Amino acid sequence: METTTETSFFNRDLSWLKFNERILMEAERNTVPLLERIKFLSIFSSNLDEFYRVRMPVLLALEKLSNKEDNDIKIDDNLLNIANQLISGQQQRYGVVLKSDIIPQLKENKINLIYGQPFPPQIQKSVSRYFLSQVMAFLQPVHINEDTNFFPANNELYFLVTLKKNNETEAIILNIPSNQLPRFYKVETGEETFIVFLDDIVRFHLDRIFPEGEVTGCYSFKITRDAEIDLKDEYSGSLSEQLEKQLLKRDSGLATRFLHQPGIPANVFELLKKLFNLKKANRIEGGQYHNLKDFMGFPVNLPKLSNQNWPKICNTDVIEGSLTEAIYKNDIIVHTPYQSYDSVLRFFNEAAIDEEVREIYVTLYRVASDSKIVNALISAAKNGKKVTVLVELKARFDEANNIKWAKKMKEVGVDIIYSVTALKVHAKVALVKRQTGDRMHYSGLFATGNFNESTAAFYTDHILMTANKEMLREVELLFIFLAKRVKPTSADLIKFNHLLVAQFNLQQVFLELIDREIEYANQGKPSGITIKMNNLEEKVLINKLYEASQAGVKIDMIVRSIGRLVPGVKGMSENIKVTRIVDRYLEHGRVFIFHNLGKNDVYLGSADWMNRNIYRRIEVCFPIYNEQIKQEIMDIVEIQKQDNVQAVCIDEHMDNIPVKTGGVLVSSQHDIYELLKNK
């Protein structure tokens, strides 16, 4: 095989920004319903915030390192500048599509989004009434000077107000209470609807807030800080207590961005820089409004401006008796969000009250804020069942919610396992043991996404319900190991014959499956690999795919966001095609298909091919043995491979290239829904 160099791999952070560009492209498309385009603007903003909170600290640190290396990846000296240029260009496009396209189209539909304009006279009384009765109570102005003891919260909205009083200028920080109140206020007058920002309501009343002086300036800003949490293995005591302490430090982390409205006086900025530790932050002059991820709560709901509703399909409604008994007879698969998540809730609910159920085991990574699944587990424990739950407290931005639920479960006697601090448990598995007479029966769930009914409404995932005792016995062995709270010392510590488990056999088995296709290709036999995942980074597996391409194996990849593999390069990857699908639902399922001379080995699972998934997490991928389900998965992936509406191809320059539309148009999410609806 030809030796690969760093030019054989895209940079992971630039690739991530290119994914966010694909989100922006969807907001720019006139064929997308207007309110859905606004949601894509929200997603773009939310993604960019996360980039500044999680990845920008890495880029800032790498710029300072003399050897410019990160996990053996050589860093371009100009990487930070390239990232900033990409972000700047995308933000300019964002502003153009919002102000020149979306806002005028809203107005055509009698929806007036007040954006950088004075309030029309007909809504001013209503706005003032709302300010006086609702907004004013949440305002907390802070006068700024050298002795000020105040630190702006991470990623929250503020005004810097300059006030002239007794011939002296004062600087005041004023919060915009968007965490306590909706970001938008709606006023309806006859046939017209006006939508105003909370920011503008506060700005409109500055004279009332500061009657003792003359307001000479008002500038919106926010500070974004490093959101990573540092947990050391040597921590003693309760992991949840340590984590709660770390969460309190998030607001004082390294500042990576100071985003502000233009015009802040130089002397005032120097004071802010000193007080709020902004020396290393990217200073970015933005528009008047920040945190436009809040567009997700845009207070207009018009069916004609939204996606057509696809009613959920419930494929277990026909089961009148016990769902568990049905699983004993045949495997069942649920494809969310096309099919209803009620089937998964029913599985846990039945287990909670079934007198014959003795034990329940489940991993929880991101828990819904009002989790029906956790409530079922609490009921199960109260009903005398042994319930063991692995709660991953280190799920980024969900730590506090997971801690809350872990405490509630512990109070009623659920056995709570926390993962070892340096190893996240990202697997999505559940096991129920049910005793009938002298026999112990196993049933369980294997999923590509979290056991979370909220995200299941818009994440495309696959949940396998099975009674395959050999697979489920391996799940039981995994839980026994996880309860010890130690790192695996050897890949052979547990012998997994069916499941692929990161830290044990996952990477090795995937390499062997690719090698088998290489061998078939070398023998002149049919070969092929199809892989769908969210992120592709890990170099050992990418290099193996390059080797397969060079052997003549045709490889189709659907990679939603980060992708370091460079496709279509002669002599390296000319047999690899990479596409990216962005549509109404977030593509989230991981699927691995190996041709195997037409027998098609199919695996689903929780694992992307990222360094973190392969080397720092417990992941579970699982085989599909039921031939009917296997064909169903392959049919779904085949539709996605044919998508020429929502898919783009990734070229050798990392660009999002629209797929050429010759012949029949295929919009994969629509066609998958139709496939499942007509089953």
Per residue in 438-486, pLDDT tens? 999 999 999 999 999 999 999 999 999 999 999 999 999 999 999 999 8
* Residue 468 structural domain: 323-483
Q: Kindly state whether residue 304 falls inside one of the protein's structural domains.
A: no
366 and 412 co-located in one domain: yes
Give, in degrees to the nearest 5, the angle at Cα 185 between 184 and 189.
Answer: 135
Q: Kindly state whether residue 579 falls inside one of the protein's structural domains.
A: yes
Q: Kindly state whether residue 309 falls inside one of the protein's structural domains.
A: no
Q: Kindly state whether residue 294 falls inside one of the protein's structural domains.
A: no
Q: Across residues 409-432, what is the average pLDDT?
A: 93
Q: How far is CA 143 from CA 151, 171, 199, in A?
A: 12, 6, 19
CATH number of the domain enclosing 57: 1.20.58.310
Q: Kindly state whether residue 6 falls inside one of the protein's structural domains.
A: yes
Tokens of 173: 């920080």
470 and 349 co-located in one domain: yes
Residue 396, pLDDT > 80, answer no
67 and 122 co-located in one domain: no
Lowest pLDDT segment from 148-157, 370-379, 629-638: 148-157
Cβ contact 446:466 at 8 Å: yes
Cβ contact 627:562 at 8 Å: no
445 and 343 co-located in one domain: yes
121 and 88 co-located in one domain: no
Q: Read off the pLDDT band of 545 (50, 70, 90).
A: very high
401 and 473 co-located in one domain: yes
Question: How many Cα atoms within 13 Å fall on the side-chain side of residue 112?
Answer: 16
Q: Read off the pLDDT band of 253 (50, 70, 90).
A: low
Neighbours of 525 (CB within 10 A): 12
**Of 456, 483, 510, which closes a domain?**
483
402 and 256 co-located in one domain: no
Q: Kindly state whether residue 489 falls inside one of the protein's structural domains.
A: no
453 and 434 co-located in one domain: yes
Neighbours of 355 (CB within 10 A): 10
506 and 642 co-located in one domain: yes
Cβ contact 78:71 at 8 Å: no
Q: Kindly state whether residue 525 falls inside one of the protein's structural domains.
A: yes
**Of 113, 136, 159, which closes a domain?**
113
426 is known as an active-site residue? yes
137 and 97 co-located in one domain: no
Q: Would you give the DSSP letter of residue 75?
A: P
466 and 591 co-located in one domain: no
Q: Read off the pLDDT band of 147 (50, 70, 90).
A: confident
143 and 104 co-located in one domain: no
CATH number of the domain enclosing 199: 3.30.1840.10
Write down the H helix ranges in 553-665.
611-615, 627-641
Q: Kindly state whether residue 303 falls inside one of the protein's structural domains.
A: no
Determine which one of 426, 441, 595, 670 is catalytic: 426
Identify the residue with better confidence: 422 or 675: 675
Domain count, the chain: 4
CATH number of the domain enclosing 590: 3.30.870.10
Cβ contact 465:332 at 8 Å: yes
- Respond yes or no on whether the N-terminal peptide bond of residue 57 is cis (omega within 30° of 0): no
The overall average pLDDT reported for the chain is 91
